[in-house]
Structure 1
Amino acid sequence: MSTAAYLVCDFCYRHCRLKDGEIGFCGVRERSGDTIFTHNYGGLVSSAIDPVEKKPLYHFLPGTNTLSIAMFGCNLTCTFCQNYAISQRAWEAGAQRTYYTAREVVQLARDNRCPSISFTYSEPLVWQDYMVEVATFAKQEGLKTIMVTNGSFSEEALNRISPYIDAFNIDIKGDEAFYRDYCGGSSRPVWKAIEHIAPSKAHLEITTMVMEGVHTKQMISSIGRRLYSAGVQVWHLSRYFPRYKEQKRETSEHFLQEMVKVAKDSQIPFIYPGNSSLDQNTYCPHCKTSLVRRSWVFRESIIDHSHCPECGRHIYGTWS
């Protein structure tokens, strides 16, 4: 039997064309004969019980914990990566793994009374076969599923994954030049994913890490207008801190506050500062009633069956 010259991995927008024995851009997907497989399938490089607000998700099951898990790998090369030791190819050989079957992950969530499982820390796209297997069992057990992702889906992956995920947090990191200069990628597949997920039944929140001296008011304004046009309801703007190869000074609270003001002009109803001491409470966009009070994580909510108790306005989210 002859072997095809190339096989295409459809896990992300790169569509790596692999010869026999070649490994994809992510360092995780490898071809062997007529099969492309995921290295160290089920080998978790990180797991933890987190407040769901740390994903960040502020409008999805607030006040609950989530079981967070990651396998190794990523399909971007962000110079500021916060989790480079479990995502970037140069660090793969030294990664420490603990192997779990999909059923064992679900049982771990149940044992720790977590109503959800989060696929996070690294980039779940590159180990989506394991993610989908875990999510399948999770949904059978009545658990919710969360994907924290850079959003650079292929069309095939977006269609494959969407039925299994209840809530997404997607990074939109900057404009196209920012992706080219700092991420080794493209914003185009990310926008396609956002525009696909925002009108769907899945919950969606967006995160942008703001780098002082790089992100501008014009960039944030442009991103905000496009997110609003797509139907996005929740946008987190987080402070940058030096990490990995990027050693620019940390973003100041003042600069973040200015960018949040610019973002609010987009008319997205819920905008939050992240990694910050700034006000992260949720207010009714109609009557301005304080609905959720937070100090780093969830503290108190007065939302009444997804509505503001004062004016009756529907509040986007999954609240119980």
Structure 2
Amino acid sequence: MREFSLHDTSLRLSVAPMMDWTDSHCRVFHRLLAPHARLYTEMVHANAVIHGDRTRLLAMDPVEHPVALQLGGSEPALLAQAARIGQAHGFDEINLNCGCPSDRVQAGRFGACLMREPQLVADSVAAMIAAVSIPVTVKCRLGVDDDHDFGRFLAFVDAVAAAGCGMFVVHARNAWLKGLSPKENREVPPLRYDWAWRLKRERPQLQVVVNGGIADAAEAAAHLAHADGAMLGRAAYHDPYLLHRIDVAWFGEALRTRGELLRTLRPYVEAHLARGVPLNRMSRHWLGLFAGERGGRAFRQVLSEGAHRPGAGWALVEQALALTASGECAAA
């Protein structure tokens, strides 16, 4: 495993932590598509890490590195204990979630509501930094509800940075804690990328990665003129080949076709099938691979309808790929 730091080139491109999506199977697929990107787990609450099924919650394949464990929570001692466990499991970074707006998160006093408790976040970060030797970072919003004061946002960052945090992933919109669903919170509050860019200008010593609403390669590249990196979320999941195109453009690797990339996964898939993992647990992350391409709908349909059936294996993947053969030439 190579050494990792906050100045690693993988800061330039990363894939957001996404609940119910960025599990280990997803991250293995994304690593194949984007060898230089930094990957994040789904958010896991510190209590779950300490008391839950770590084999499942902290599942991670060695090919995923560099990969960060995102923690939820607001009790410094518990977060420190969970961070130690995460480091022992091989994660390269611990990231504290200060951006999730769900009702469950609010009831537990973590996620986006922590934007209003900078000292508690600072104490939590300090405790985690004291507990581990890997980087501790924060993913945050610009504020919550009607917080529209850049000075308040900057004060939050300054308090947490003073505790030792050197990197902030900024989802560049507010979180509305009342009246919007988590899905609406990713779409309705207006994006203000200029706040993230201004943060980098005013605090150049910090590493600032911009997240939120980045839909294509051009938008991702535009952020590199103002910040240290771009983090893609749903766009990378729904159109995963976008990750590959960006990685190739930014890091100079050779462009590979969608079919070639997916077939590279065959040994991984067959090894997990042999362990009793159903095909659909892996294939659900590939459904958008041919998004917008000829045969893409048929590819998705074959996998969606067949991968959950008992005995479904690699032959079904080849059946789906065969429907895209004409599009593969165009994709290259």
Normalized against structure 1, the TM-score is what? 0.40
In terms of fraction of residues, the more strand-rich structure is 1
